[in-house]
Amino acid sequence: MKLKIYIYISLCYFSVVLISCKKESQLSLQKVEATTIPINPDIVEDSSIKAFLSPYKSNVDKEMDSILAFTPRSLTKKDSKYNTAIGNMMADAVFEMANPIFKSRTGYSFNAVLLNHGGIRSSLSEGAITTRTAYQIMPFENEVVVVELSGKQMKEMFSYLEYGKAHPISGIQITLDKDGKLKEALIQGQTVLDNETYFIATSDYLQKGGDSMTFLEKPVSILNLDYKIRNLLIDYFKKKDTIAPVRDNRFTKDQE
């Protein structure tokens, strides 16, 4: 008799547990409420939190203000219409630092570099170049990707660049005629062939169609190097003692 009662109680217990689990599994989110907490100068500083964070801030500031290189003059992306010293420096840095990585993984070198004028977010001030400088120039998390483009896509790229904005390029030479029309476009000094493909290093942002560079969206192939452009600049600055890029003839227009 006692055994029957025990079995009965056990069955009741497990039945209740199963019913409870079934009910809980049917629970779903009904509503989310949020409150806006404005951040403004009226907020009173918490001295205990500031004291707690102070040593961490000191370490971060020490790292950010560490001197990596030197530049003898200030550079901005407004220095010239067709190519700027700072833009040339960024494109050349990507070529120098990223090409060996691509070659080690694929056995090929890429042919050129294309970045965007709007991606240069700060000038390069005369004097010391620090880690903070790299963050100011490139505050985004953009990474280097290498796309393989057909001859047709390359010509679409040249048509885009024909508008005459100083997008950072390396390995590319563009000449506009007096009327601003594309006169000549070369890759590593050679004319682009329709039946060839070309490896172009750019950013993941541009590859996804950023700045209306839709010709990069559907490449023949693509390889992400997992190398942030900001980190690349930091490595480039560490490698160099003096950063003194110049404007050159990689993008020019015939004189009137």
Q: 207 Cβ partners below 8 Å, 6+ apart?
A: 145, 147, 213, 216, 217, 219, 222
Would you say 190 and 151 are in contact if contact means Cβ atoms under 8 Å apart? no
pLDDT-derived band at 7 (thresholds 50, 70, 90) equals: very low
Structure tokens at 214: 């839709």
Instruction: Please report the domains of the chain, with CATH numbers, ordered by start residue.
Output: 63-245 (3.90.780.10)
pTM of the model: 0.81
| 201: confidence class by pLDDT, cuts 50, 70, 90 | very high
Please state, in angstroms and rounded to a whole number, the distance separating the CA atoms of residues 108 and 110: 7
Per-residue pLDDT of 112-133, as tens digits, reads: 999 999 999 999 999 999 999 9
Contacts for 92 with CB less than 8 Å, ≥ 6 apart? 113, 170, 245
Going through the chain in order, the beta strands assigned E by DSSP cover 67-71, 112-114, 127-130, 143-150, 169-170, 172-176, 182-187, 190-191, 197-203, 221-228, 251-253
Specify the pLDDT at position 52.
85
Quote the tokens at residue 141.
């998390």
Counting Cα atoms < 13 Å in the Cβ hemisphere of 252 gives 9
- Flag whether pLDDT at 15 surpasses 80: no
Single-letter residue type at 29: L
Q: Which helix (H) or strand (E) holds 23?
A: helix 2-25
Residues 131 and 61: their CA atoms lie apart, in Å, by 10
pLDDT digits (tens, 9 = 90+) for 236-256: 999 999 999 999 999 999 985
**pLDDT at 24 exceeding the cut of 80:** no
